[in-house]
Copies of this chain bind each other. A is one copy, B any other.
Amino acid sequence: MSRVTAVNLDEVDWRILAILQAEARISFKELGHRIGLTGTAIAERVRKLEDEGVIEGYNVNLNREKLGFPVMAFLKLRVNAEHCKHLREQSIALPEVIEMHRVVGSEYYILKIVLPSMQHLEAVLEKFLQFGAVDVSIVLSTTVDRKRLQKQSSETR
């Protein structure tokens, strides 16, 4: 198990990340203006964050409904050990599966899937039921999503 040490960030780095989490296409000049530094200084800090691997990339935030995937669901799968490899391959290959996490309990997986309609759910479920038991939770509404990571106090709260 690889141990990843946290990088030391100062207040300015956290402020940069807070803004980038909401407006990743902002110019360094504007970013510097908001924080009170020059664009040059900001550019250097951002490059450092990229080099250290704190920043892994930049994404666009898309509206699922408008792209034709109004249905979202979580699947919890209990999979026999011999099927794990196939489940991985299936999850990577299926465009419907946007997240897959192995969770505690020897052979449990949680998948997040998106679908054009409820009619598609049955077809996707069929693909996973061959591996083991599936517990389905269909999302009705989302209250919190992509909340920004922020500096937390170091105490155990």
Contact = CB atoms under 8 A, between A and B. Distances in A.
Interface in A5-51: 5-7, 9, 17, 20-25
A102 interface: yes
Given A147-B95, A149-B114, A17 B62 contact: yes
Interface size class of A (residues with CB under 8 A): 35 or more
Copies of this subunit: 2
A151 to B, nearest CB: 8
A139 B24 contact: no
A112 to B, nearest CB: 9
Interface of A: 4-7, 9, 17, 20-25, 52-70, 72-74, 76, 88, 91-92, 95-105, 108, 110-111, 114, 116-117, 119-120, 123, 137-147, 149-150, 152, 154, 156-157
15 contacts: A4-B63, A6-B65, A6-B67, A57-B60, A68-B152, A69-B149, A74-B74, A95-B149, A96-B152, A99-B144, A102-B139, A102-B141, A105-B137, A111-B144, A114-B149
